[in-house]
Copies of this chain bind each other. A is one copy, B any other.
Amino acid sequence: MTQKRFFFGKRSSVEEVEEGTTFSPKFDKDGLIPVVTTEADTGTLLMLGFMNEEALGLTIETKEAHYWSRSRNILWKKGQTSGLIQRVEELKVDDDQDALWLRVKVGGSGASCHVGYHSCFYRSLPLGNVANDLVYTESEKTFDPNEVYGDAPNPTQL
């Protein structure tokens, strides 16, 4: 057990959580909080990740995005393998403080997706009736995942 390094505010009342200035993020029963990461310049949604207390503390201290990988069960500095570091321009919290928003600038090619695309959200679903045929909205990968990650196991789980 490592010593706890980061301490966030107490959730003392709904009023303080919603309308106060105390940062008191709510971690769920697994100790995680969801994080929306967008590209600072374009507003493009890059990814939805999760942080534990340590990942959040390190992100605040270093201004580089750290996450908790639910598939690998490890603390994970984004870009550690790929070089695609996310430099945090702004960190925001929502009304009930159970979600975070990072506005970032990405290093290297600017990509954020382990499959090789710029955004993890490279497919859209036509609306109007529930057919399950996705349409690609990015036409080319920005890097070759095999070159970057080699034999590392794919984090995607069925």
List residues of chain A with CB under 8 Å of any chain B CB.
Answer: 6-9, 11, 13-14, 17-24, 34, 36, 38, 42-45, 47-48, 57, 60-61, 63, 88, 90-96, 99, 101, 113-115, 117, 120-125, 127-130, 132-137, 154-158
A6–B9 Cα distance when bound, in Å, is 42
Cβ of A65 to closest chain B Cβ, rounded Å: 11
A16 closest partner in B (C-beta): B158
Give the secondary structure class of A's interface.
Answer: loop
Q: List 30 A-B contacts (CB under 8 A).
A: A7-B132, A8-B130, A9-B132, A14-B157, A19-B115, A21-B123, A21-B135, A21-B136, A22-B132, A22-B133, A22-B134, A23-B132, A23-B133, A23-B134, A34-B34, A34-B48, A36-B36, A36-B48, A38-B38, A42-B43, A43-B44, A60-B125, A60-B128, A88-B127, A92-B121, A92-B124, A93-B125, A94-B121, A95-B120, A101-B121
